[in-house]
DNA sequence: TAACACACCTGTTGGC
DNA sequence: TGCCAACAGGTGTGTT
């Protein structure tokens, strides 16, 4: 599921459902998920109130009374909220029970997701050390810096855009959409892009992710009743998952290739490789 | 430093 | 139908 628009949708859902709640009990059934140590995690969270729910790139940040809980959903992580009884499910790995009897449950089939509990002053260093780039907004995502970084790299542009240090939030679905919108071939070397193409890529990134947020993210391989899984962005995708279908711009068949190990969809007519 | 392979896990899909 | 390989929306680590 989760690229930036999906994580933002989850953030909004969490804010609505658990902001102001106080944690009474925490149960972790898959300890390796909690990177900062499961015992202190469960202990430290007791009595903490969820004050704000924020997001940085694809990371969720739960600001608590004394700590910040950083949650990354990776490939399949999702949150469920149960006002009363919690059903049994072998993929429920972390359960936060609140003082009012409700429960927030983290579910993750592939167990790739991570949680970390940090002090509030450690958050900035955390993202710097992970080299998380600017948010994909007009204000944060500067063209000049983007141009500079691309000029230094021979990497295929798609692989480069997936690197979160360039800009935070793109994943395999939205990156294909961004390249289609900017009419850039996914395998084009970063440093061979024209100034116009680079500017178009920046603009497309901002617009595609904004649209994704507006549509509540995309729901592919849906699990109902999970927070943030009610999006409609899948109805607006132009190339991702459209192999063999007509390009919305020129009617040429969309093709799928492997690039950097990832399924990559593009229009061979609109997105031509140069150099 | 950069670019790539691989590991982490489980479920689903498509080919034979 | 059964089996099995390939694939699935991400990122951290290790190796060239």
A91 is in an annotated binding site: yes
Catalytic residue status for A145: no
pLDDT digits (tens), chain A, 275 positions = 689 999 999 999 999 999 999 999 999 999 999 999 999 999 999 999 999 999 999 999 999 999 999 999 999 999 999 999 999 999 999 999 999 999 999 999 999 999 999 999 999 999 999 999 999 999 999 999 999 999 999 999 999 999 999 999 999 999 999 999 999 999 999 999 999 999 999 999 999 999 999 999 987 764 556 777 678 998 999 999 999 999 999 999 999 999 988 999 999 999 999 87
Tokens coding A234? 């899948």
Assigned token pair, A93: 């790995």
Strands of chain A, DSSP E: 23-28, 50-56, 59-64, 67-72, 78-82, 92-98, 103-107, 114-119, 255-259, 262-266
The answer to whether the C-beta of A244 is closer than 7 A to strand B is: no
Phi, psi of A173 (to 5 degrees): -75, -60
CA atoms of A275 and A6, how far apart (whole Å): 36
**Which pLDDT score is estimated for A227?**
79
> Can you read off the two tokens belonging to residue A115?
């949680």
Query: Which residues have Cβ atoms closer than 7 angstroms to strand C?
Result: A 1-3, 6, 57-58, 72, 74-75, 110, 112, 130, 162, 164, 170-173, 217-221, 258, 262-263
Distances (CA, A) of A7 to A1, A51, A213, A228, A229: 9, 18, 9, 8, 10
Distance A35 CA to B2 C1' (A): 28
Q: What is the largest CA-CA distance in chain A?
A: 62
Distance measured from the CA of protein residue A166 to the C1' of nucleotide B1, in angstroms: 16
Write the CA distances from A180 to A110, A254, A257, integer angstroms. Answer: 30, 10, 14
The CA–C1' separation of A136 and B6, in angstroms, is 29
What value, to the nearest 5°, has the Cα angle with vertex A93 and ends A263 and A224?
60
């Amino acid at each position: 599921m989760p690229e930036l628009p999906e994580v933002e949708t989850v953030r909004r859902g969490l804010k609505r459902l658990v902001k102001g709640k106080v944690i009474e009990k925490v149960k972790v059934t898959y300890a390796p998920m909690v990177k900062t140590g499961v015992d202190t995690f469960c202990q430290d969270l007791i009595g903490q109130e969820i004050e704000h729910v924020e997001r940085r790139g694809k990371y969720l940040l739960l600001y608590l009374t004394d700590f910040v809980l950083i949650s990354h959903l990776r490939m399949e992580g999702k949150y469920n909220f149960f006002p009363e009884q919690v059903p049994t499910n072998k993929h429920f790995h972390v359960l936060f029970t609140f003082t009012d009897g409700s429960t927030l449950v983290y579910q993750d089939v592939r167990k790739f997701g991570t949680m970390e509990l940090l002090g509030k002053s450690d958050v900035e260093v955390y993202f710097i050390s992970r080299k998380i780039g600017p948010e994909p907004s007009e204000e944060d995502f500067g063209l000049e810096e983007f141009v500079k970084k691309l000029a230094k790299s021979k990497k295929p542009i798609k692989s480069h855009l997936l690197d979160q240090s360039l800009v935070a939030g793109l994943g395999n679905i939205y990156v294909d959409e961004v390249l289609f919108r900017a009419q850039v071939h996914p395998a084009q070397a970063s440093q061979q892009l024209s100034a116009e193409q680079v500017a178009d890529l920046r603009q497309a990134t901002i617009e595609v992710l904004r649209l994704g947020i507006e549509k509540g993210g995309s729901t592919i391989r849906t699990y109902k009743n999970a927070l943030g899984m009610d999006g409609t962005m899948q109805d607006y995708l132009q190339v991702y998952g459209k192999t063999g279908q007509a390009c919305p711009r020129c009617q040429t068949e969309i093709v799928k290739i492997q690039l950097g190990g990832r399924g990559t969809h593009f229009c061979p007519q609109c997105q031509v490789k140069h150099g």
